[in-house]
Every structure is written in structure tokens, then in C-alpha cells.
Structure 1
Amino acid sequence: RAVVLVPTRELCDQTRAAIADLLYYCRDVVSVVALSSATAAEQAAALRELPDIVVGTPGRVAAHLRDGTLSLRDTLETLVVDEADLVLSFGCGDDVRAIVKACPKICQGFLLSATFSSALKELQRVVLQKPAILKLQEDTSSGRLTQFYVRVPKDDKFLLLYALVRLNLIAGKALFFVNSINECFRLKLFLEQFSIRAAVLNAELPANSRKHILDQFNKGVFDYLVATDDSVGVGAGGAAGSGAAAGTDVGGGGGRRQGRGH
């Protein structure tokens, strides 16, 4: 029902994995096949199972169309060309045109690209008919932080933090900084009393444990990390790729400080 074209075999596997994650709750009814590392015979065998989604390079998909191991005329509903500028730069334009010719007349098409060259406009005319063009603009913010603090009694800090979370004044992922490991666990237990999931990150944890926590944080298993100042950026192998939406200091002194990007 759908074909996703990507420029390289490595992207085939990455795309298949991303689609599989999206289909977590319907894997038993929607099947995905990636035409990547397997041999042509193994790919043909997988295609005979009539998968719902096929991910492949234009060259592989076009080859299976020529061999008769893949048919799109009667079943295809959606054609996606991802990284279309790279597809063209790798010399796959003719293969894409051959695939489009094998598609049914009524078929929804998507052309995704980071750039929009004249060659891409020509491919657009081949793949799409009267397209709606969506341009995603880069963030034009300065990238600077705005910091502010609120003076509150020490015993009220956790209560204030709870109110900020519940009122969505702290939105998205956040890092909460405290002064000690004991305070980390105190804050974590406090939040969990109100069904607010959080994890503790500190330098005493093994590197694999820190990486696992950061991977879960980036995947959205929980939105809040409680950390001491010395636990950020320690030997986690760069796993904190997506970063945090906000950083909040709830330890020490009588104030609460927050930094947020603008």
C-alpha cells in the first residue's frame, strides 16, 4: 500500500526501524519490508508475502519492478521520496521516473527534501500533481537564555516545582538540578507521589546506566531528569542528544532559578 524511497541502504534500515516504532500497536496487521542487506532472492521472497509498506532505494525498487517481483499498479496508495535532493545527487532520477510510471494514476505522493533546486522542481512535476508545498522554517531565535529566579522558603521549593509542572508552566522535557545525590532521590520520590515520572542522573552511576537513562529520556519514557551539577555530561557517550527543554535549579540558597532558550 505504500512505498518509501530513500537514497541509501543504511537509510532503509533506519526508516524501517522508525516505521516499526510508529506501528508498535498494530504490528500484527501492518507489515514492513526493507530492501537493504538481503540478497535479491531473499527480498523477492519477502515481497511475495505482500507487505503493506516497502522501504528501499530507487535502484532496488526499480529492479524488482523490472523482474516482476513487485507490482504497484493495483495496490499502491502512497509514494514517499525521502531525501529527494540526495536521491537526485546519487543519480537515481531515472529510477524514480520508472517507479512513478508503474504507479496507479490515483496515488498520494510525498517529496521530502532539505533543498529545492531546479532539478528537484523537475522531479516534483514527475512525482506530484498540483502539490501543496510545505516549507519548514528554521528557528530564527537568538539561542540565548533568559534566566529568572523566585525566592521561596526551603520547605516550599518542592511544592512550587510541583505547581509549575502541574500548571504546565514548565513544558516539555526538563532537567532539575539539586545540590546532592540525596536531594536527587528526595525530589524524585516527591514527584512520584503525584504520578510524575522522573529519573535520577548522577556521577556515581555506571556509564551504561547513565546512557540507558538518557536514552529513555530522549525517547520520552519520562520527561524529567533530576541531576546534581557534576552529573551532566559525564561519560554518557553523548546520549543526551535531544537535550532538555528547560533547566531548573531547586537546590541551595533560598531561590529557584530557571533557564529557557528563546
Structure 2
Amino acid sequence: MAPILDLRGKRALVTSGTRGAGAATVRLFRDLGADVLTTARSRPDDVPERGFVAADLTTAEGCAAVATAVRDRLGGVDVVVHMLGGSSAPAGGFAALTDEEWRREIDLNLFPAVRLDRALLPGMIGQGRGVVVHVTSIQRLMPLPEATIAYAAAKAALSAYGKALSKEVSPKGVRVVRVAPGWIETEASVKLAERLAVEAGTDVEGGKRIIMASLGGIPLGRPSKPEEVANLIAFLASDLAASITGTEHVIDGGTVPTV
């Protein structure tokens, strides 16, 4: 029986594809037949050199280097997955966020997508086809004031940008969709659960429950797995989703409490 999902013949760029959901997406895309290029600031030992480019996407120079690598190595691109994102802002609410903290969050969570789209979309438009996936966050809908105000605002900006972009380029054959994860059980989040567990005098599962409680609960009872996020992205990037554009798809185990 032929596989339901098929990305054979697709040339794909997946940013931040060496850990977590990004690495899961790279693996799945390759398993489904895509030719994938991924990027991070440095290449881990377990990531093959082929299909990887080292770059700092928080800079204009880094984005330009990746766009050049896409053209040189892939000869163009059919799917771009903007996985890069995160937050390093300190706790303490709005008063703890300096101008530099705000710039850092925007440079990480918004500008890489804007710059890479600007460089790569003309080629997609020229070939009359393509898919852009912006990975946003449920925090654009339910920001946590203690530490992630700037992150949530940057992701909200990314979501609004993606919606506007879809209206401009969908008539030209390029679909633009958004994926909004909640808590994903990555290595980094497990380490956070372990640290919280030590502080609270409980075990790792107790630490996970602390994280879920901070989000107001997850009805599914667990975080999403990186592979589950990758599955959603692969579907949206495939021809099975050919009429889906301009929409945001939440994968959060039911965390967002509103319709």
C-alpha cells in the first residue's frame, strides 16, 4: 500500500532542525522522500554535514547565508518550515524586560521568518508552487506574564504576518499556514521538569504536573511529542493539504481554554 503522506520530489528548508520538534520534522521529511536542508548555529556531532548549514538566523547575514545555501544546494525550495523560536527572557514581568530583551525576542521569533521569506518566496512564486509553515505558539493567545511577554508578543506578530502573507501569495500558488504548539516534551522541557521536581521535592512526573498547572492544565493529560508536531507539519506541507492556506493549526492537547 502506498504511504498516505508523500514528500518525494520536495525540496525543503527546516530551520532549527537539530533538536526537539525541528529534528523530528527533519527526520520525517527525509523518511517521506524530501530533500531537506536544515540549519542551526552549530552542527551537533550526531547531525550529518550533508543537508546542514551553520548560521545565526537572528542576523541578516545568517539569513542571507542560508538563502544562498538553499539555492546552491537544493536549486530552489518547495517547502519552508520556520521552526526557529524560543525565549531567554528573565522572570519578573514587564519591568524586567529591557529594550535589549525585547530586541532579542523579536530577532529570534519574528525576523528570521521575515528575512528568509523575503529571500525565498520570489523563487516559489516564480515556479508557481510552494508551502511556507510558520511555527507560532499558543502563547500568542494566552501569554504568561511572569517571563514570556516579549516571546508571546513576537509570536503574535509572526502569526499576523503569516496571515497577511497568505493573502498576498496564495493567489500566486504559494500556501502559507501556521502551526501553534503548546508544551512539547523536548529534552529541554524534561530538564525543566526535573529542576522543578527537585525544587518542589517531587519526581519528574510531579515536575511535569507543575508545568501543566502553570498552563492552566492540559486536558489530554500530557504534553505533545515532537513527532506529533512533525506529523502535523508534514501533512500541511503535503499535497493532501492543497486547499489549506491562511489558517493556524493548534496542537496543544486542549490547553487553550477558548473556542
TM-score by length of 2: 0.34
More contact order relative to length (CA 8 Å, sep ≥ 6): 2
TM-score by length of 1: 0.33
Between Structure 1 and Structure 2, the one with more strand by share is 1
Structure whose CA Rg is larger? 1
Between Structure 1 and Structure 2, the one with more helix by share is 2
